[in-house]
Amino acid sequence: QVQLQESGPGLVKPSETLSLICTVSGDSVIRNGHYRAWIRQPPGKGLEWIGSLYSTGSTYSNPSLNNRVTISVDASRNQVSLSLSSVTAADTAVYYCATFAQTDAIYLWGPGTVVTVSS
Amino acid sequence: DIVLTQSPGTLSLSPGERATLSCRASQSVRSNYLAWYQQRPGQAPRLLIYGASSRATGIPDRFSGSGSGTDFTLTINRLEPEDFAVYYCQQYSRSPLTFGGGTMVDIK
A22-61 confidence digits (pLDDT tens): 999 999 999 999 999 999 999 999 999 999 999 999 999 9
B101 to chain A, any CB pair closer than 8 A? The answer is yes
CA of A46: which chain B residue's CA is closest?
B101
What per-residue confidence (pLDDT) applies to A103?
86
Q: Do B90 and A105 touch (CB under 8 A)?
A: yes
Q: Cβ of A47 and B99 within 8 Å?
A: yes
Per-residue confidence (pLDDT) for residue A79, from 0 to 100? 98
The verdict on B50 touching A (C-beta cutoff 8 Å) is yes
Which distant-in-sequence residues (6+ apart) come within 8 Å of B42 by Cβ?
none
Question: Is residue B97 classed exposed, middle or buried when 0-12, 13-18 and 19+ CB atoms within 10 A define those classes?
Answer: buried
Could you report how far apart the first and last alpha carbons of chain B are, in Å?
35
> Among all residues of chain A, which has the CA nearest to that of B45?
A109
Please give chain B's pLDDT, 108 residues, in tens: 999 999 999 999 999 999 999 999 999 999 999 999 999 999 999 999 999 999 999 999 999 999 999 999 999 999 999 999 999 999 999 999 999 999 999 999
Residues of A with Cβ-Cβ distance to B92 under 8 angstroms: 100, 103-106
Task: Give the A-side interface with B, CB within 8 Å.
Answer: 37, 46-49, 52, 60, 62-64, 96, 100, 103-107, 109-112
CB B90 within 8 A of CB B43: no
Question: Would an 8 Å CB–CB cutoff place B97 in contact with chain A?
Answer: yes
Residue A90 in this model has a pLDDT that exceeds 90: yes
Residues pairing with B30 in the sheet: none
Q: Which of B31, B50, B101 sits opposite A105 (nearest CB)?
A: B50
Strands B86-91 and B71-76: unpaired
pLDDT for A102: 87
Inter-chain touch A112–B37, beta carbons under 8 Å: no
How confident is the model over A69-93, as a mean pLDDT? 98
Given an 8 Å threshold on Cβ–Cβ distance, is A49 in contact with B37? no
Residue B72, min C-alpha distance to chain A (Å): 15
Q: Give the CA distances from residue A64 to residues A61, A68, A118, B3, B94, in Å, rounded to whole numbers and listed in that order.
A: 9, 9, 22, 13, 15
**Considering chain A, what percentage of its residues have pLDDT values greater than 70?**
100
Measured CA to CA, the distance from residue B50 to residue B27 in angstroms comes to 18
